[in-house]
Structure 1
Amino acid sequence: MGQTEYLLVIILFNIFLVAFIVAAISFVIQYKNKKKESITQLQQQHVLHQKELLATQIEIQTQTMQHIGREIHDNVGQKLTLASLYTQQLAFENEALPINDKITGIGELINDALSELRHLSKSLTDNHIDTNDISILLKEEFARIEILKKYKLNLKVDFESIPLSYQAKSLLLRVVQEFIQNSIKHAACKTISATLVKNDNQLILTLSDDGKGFNTEKMAGKGIGLSNIKKRIALIGGSYYIESKEGDGTKLTIEISI
């Protein structure tokens, strides 16, 4: 091999070596940039997730306080007001037997009011959701609606107890409350039903009413209630499906992994 050819080989080798080094450095830089971008995205997603959790917790607390306010105003306040009216009537009546009957009624109203106040106080001082099973929480919610004596209520739970996180129970309970409120306020229904079943590693909650229903296509992306339900179920890794049409009620099915 001549000197010229030898120099040419060395030059080509150096060219390939430099190209390899440049390619390697470029690859490392790109890898680090992509890794940095990935870490940044994960951090942003984590921050966003934490904000959503915080917003949901605040919303749950706000709704709880609103519920307590309504209970005090509609139930306790009403009964104490009636007790006050009965007491005023006693000042203008002289008949012994009717007065005794009214005194008995006043005592019952006051006792009912005090009992409800104790219940509300207990719900504030202990961790009611955390210490009770979802089946108990749903039974209590339906019992509160049953007091109205305006709707036929059906609740079916096919198990006694099932382990769920506080967040899962809170969000499921809130979805049930919102569905019931929508059914009462907007659906003009007579019957509200709920079924909670366990299927292998899936928990399936079905809510339905026999109200006037709505067009799901027209409501897609417009209903605040539906948007809230979607966000809550997404936070616990679940899925939901809603069926409704005008004049034929509404059915909401929720599935979460357990």
Structure 2
Amino acid sequence: MGKTEIIVTIILFNLFFILFIVGIIAFIKQYKVKKNEHEVNLLNKEREHQRELLATQLEIQTQTMQYIGREIHDNIGQKLTLASLYTQQLAYENKAPQVNESIENISTIINDSLSELRQLSKSLTDDSIEKSTIRELLEKECQKVHELRKCNVLFVCNTTINSASYQTKSIVLRITQEFIQNSIKHAKCDTITVTLERNESKYVLVLLDDGKGFNIHETKSNGIGLLNMKKRAEMIGGKYYLESNPTIGTKLTIEIPL
């Protein structure tokens, strides 16, 4: 074998070796790409499953509450009304003043219970989340808490938002309620601001208080309430950003895709 043939053989061997290495690298890269795609698909399927599960849970919860509300109104409410009429009739027919006083007290207790049950029945059968926009729900919640005079609650929304689903409205409302309750109970704040915005691709909910705040990294598991809010946001594909400082208060931002 001549010198030229040896050189050609070495070059061809090196070329094949390089191609072999390149093939292995390409295979590994392709494997990683497919693996990442598979993991993304699994994650998307899990999120879709969580959304479907949430929708089912909300539907069952709503139906259950409406059923209980109707039972309270139609069954227990009617029986208490009848008991109230009986006590009134008994008081009318009875001639002993000391007994009448006891009967009137019983009647008062029954009527108070009946009134409370009617309010409970109304709240359980209330479909305000279905009928109201997300803006109306948050505005009403802020006004209700503000009227309790525990702190100032401001609502800011400079756009009309009508397209949110029942699941989105329900979860955004629950997150807002949770944040407000935590701020009043733990932060000892003077003012809570609830801001709702919308752009081309997402809703942005910003919850802010001027309370004492806390160190996020030192809070055990970030607190049950905070974890609940984060889990709720993730159920509707939202992103959760929490900022807090012991001197400037707490800010929670929830971004929810349209």
The correspondence of residues 1-258 of structure 1 with structure 2, limited to 5 A, is 4-54=2-52, 56-57=54-55, 60=58, 83=81, 86-94=84-92, 117=121, 120-121=124-125, 123=127, 129=129, 132-141=132-141, 154-159=153-158, 161-163=160-162, 165-166=164-165, 167-180=167-180, 182=182, 193-198=192-197, 203-206=204-207, 208=209, 215-217=214-216, 218-234=218-234, 235-242=237-244, 251-256=250-255
Question: Secondary structure in 2 aligned to 1:221?
Answer: helix
Which residue of structure 2 lines up, in the alignment, with residue 99 of structure 1? none
Q: Which moved more, 1:58-67 or 1:169-178?
A: 58-67
Q: Which runs of 5+ in 1 are unaligned?
A: 96-102
Superposition RMSD in Å: 5.2
Cα deviation, 1:27-58, whole Å, max 9, x if unaligned, reads 33223322222222212322332344345445
% same residue: 17
What secondary structure, in the 3-state scheme, does the structure 1 residue paired with 2:46 have? helix
Name the aligned partner's letter for residue 237 of structure 1: K
Name the TM-score, length of structure 2 as normaliser: 0.61
* Length, aligned pairs only: 239
SS at 2:160's partner residue? Answer: coil
Q: Deviations over 1:197-231 (max 9, x none)?
A: 54877734335598xx7855553415211111123
Unaligned runs of at least 5 residues, structure 2: 94-106
Greater mean deviation of Cα atoms: 132-141 or 82-91: 82-91
Range that drifts further, 201-210 or 24-33: 201-210
Amino acid in structure 1 at the alignment position of 2:173: L
TM-score by length of 1: 0.61
Quote the offset at 1:90 in angstroms: 0.4
Deviation of the 1:172 alpha carbon: 1.2
User: CA 1:48–1:93 in structure 2 vs 1: closer, same or farther (change >3 Å)?
Assistant: same
Question: Which range is displaced more, 235-244 or 17-26?
Answer: 235-244
Take 1:49 and 1:220, find their aligned partners in 2: how far apart are those partners?
Answer: 26
**Cα deviation, residue 134, structure 1:** 1.3
Change (3 A) 1:242 1:220: farther
- Contact kept? 1:241, 1:252, Cα under 8 Å: yes
Distance 1:225 1:180 in 2: 11
SS at 1:93 equivalent: helix
Aligned-partner SS, 1:162: coil
